[in-house]
């Protein structure tokens, strides 16, 4: 169960008063952090649904790599208390072919996640207590691949900072949901387009665990930016995972029926 406090909603109300744009009026660091998070979320509203292809390249500390290929389907959900839905289907290599991961992100409740394991002939429900576990052996945890719904975190604005050729807001966000593997995440957001540029993850001992870097952004439908490369570097074990996206198609007509656990079962 998420621990959403009354103070969070007070901050949310204060932030909504000054959107769009980040207000120049005096704000607390918490109000400004939340305002930036909401503006980032609103910049991505209205995309509907999408399909894409993905290569997942996993590297160990010795530089040895293995590659997996997936198809992705995503559905934007705008109802109160609900988050987006996604379906990931593994096509290669042969030992994971047919494996599928279905996720229903929630805002005020624990997320629903299912994993189709064709070798075992069954669909396994992922426990909310396993959010911090690795996703299919990668350096991404299950919680890393969920849509970042605003109300899942509390926020604090830290500073403005040059990030490459851009200027970024730097905010700290703290997971409000239970069983997270992180005490906090430091997030760099492009001030011009409200795009995620980098996230530093801190583990339960508050040590810097991983850094996720976004690059190769392309714009779709004249509005929606998508990073085509996600690079996750684990600073504690020397491993890395690179996600390379391609062939994005938006507004394909997907709906809720394409993202049910019963539909997942029929994929066996």
- The pLDDT value recorded for residue 81 is 73
The residues facing 103 across adjacent strands are: 86, 113
Query: Which residues touch 255 (CB under 8 Å, ≥6 apart)?
Result: 49, 75
Separation CA 220–CA 222 (nearest Å): 5
Separation CA 230–CA 232 (nearest Å): 6
Separation CA 126–CA 117 (nearest Å): 12
- The pLDDT value recorded for residue 79 is 75
How do 240-250 and 112-117 pair as beta strands? unpaired
Neighbours of 28 (CB within 10 A): 12
Distances (CA, A) of 64 to 59, 67, 171, 210: 5, 10, 34, 19
Query: Which residues touch 201 (CB under 8 Å, ≥6 apart)?
Result: 144, 182, 185, 208, 209, 210, 211, 212
Closest by Cα among 31, 15, 33, 37 to 159: 33
Instruction: Find the angle CA(191)-CA(24)-CA(18) to the nearest 5 degrees.
Output: 85
Query: Which residues touch 229 (CB under 8 Å, ≥6 apart)?
Result: 214, 215, 216, 242, 243, 244, 245
Distances (CA, A) of 238 to 132, 139, 181: 18, 10, 18
Closest by Cα among 188, 177, 127 to 150: 177
- The pLDDT value recorded for residue 235 is 98
- The pLDDT value recorded for residue 2 is 40
Stated as kind and residue range, the H or E segment containing 140 is none
Stated pTM of the model: 0.88
Distances (CA, A) of 229 to 138, 141, 148, 245: 15, 17, 18, 6
Q: In degrees to the nearest 10, what's the CA dihedral of 203, 68, 105, 159? A: 50
Separation CA 229–CA 36 (nearest Å): 23
- Domain ranges for the chain: 31-267
Residue-level pLDDT, tens digit, the chain, 268 residues: 344 444 444 555 445 444 555 555 679 999 999 999 999 999 999 999 999 999 999 999 999 999 999 999 999 998 777 889 999 999 999 999 999 999 998 876 788 899 998 888 889 888 877 788 999 899 999 899 888 899 999 999 999 999 999 999 999 999 998 889 999 999 999 999 999 999 999 999 999 999 999 999 999 999 999 999 999 999 999 999 999 999 999 999 999 999 998 888 777 5
The residues facing 243 across adjacent strands are: 56, 230
- The pLDDT value recorded for residue 249 is 97
Q: Is 190 exposed, middle or buried (0-12, 13-18, 19+ CB in 10 A)?
A: buried
Instruction: Residues 31-267: name the CATH superfamily.
Output: Lipoprotein localisation LolA/LolB/LppX (2.50.20.10)
């Amino acid at each position: 169960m998420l621990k959403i406090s009354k103070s969070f909603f007070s901050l949310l109300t204060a932030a909504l008063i000054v959107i769009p744009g980040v207000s120049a009026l005096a704000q607390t660091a918490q109000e400004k952090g939340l305002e930036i998070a909401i503006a980032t979320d609103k910049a991505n509203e209205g995309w509907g649904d999408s399909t894409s292809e993905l290569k997942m390249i996993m590297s160990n500390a010795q530089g040895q790599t293995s590659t997996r290929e997936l198809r992705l389907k995503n559905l934007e959900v705008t109802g109160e208390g609900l988050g987006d839905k996604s379906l990931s289907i593994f096509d290669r290599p042969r030992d994971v072919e047919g494996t599928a991961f279905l996720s229903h992100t929630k805002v005020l409740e624990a997320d629903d996640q299912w994993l189709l394991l064709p070798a075992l002939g069954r669909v396994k429900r992922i426990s909310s207590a396993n959010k911090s576990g690795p996703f299919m052996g990668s350096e991404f945890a299950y919680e890393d691949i969920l849509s970042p719904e605003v109300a899942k975190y509390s926020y604090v604005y830290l500073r403005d900072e040059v990030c490459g050729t851009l200027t970024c807001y730097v905010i700290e966000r703290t997971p409000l949901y239970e069983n997270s593997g992180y005490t906090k995440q430091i997030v760099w957001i492009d001030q011009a387009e409200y795009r995620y540029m980098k996230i530093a993850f801190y583990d339960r001992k508050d040590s810097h665990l991983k850094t996720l870097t976004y690059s190769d952004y392309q714009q779709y439908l004249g509005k929606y930016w998508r990073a085509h490369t996600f690079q996750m570097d684990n600073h504690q074990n020397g491993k890395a995972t690179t996600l390379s996206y391609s062939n994005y198609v938006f507004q394909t007509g997907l709906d809720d029926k394409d993202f049910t656990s019963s539909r997942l079962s029929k994929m066996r």
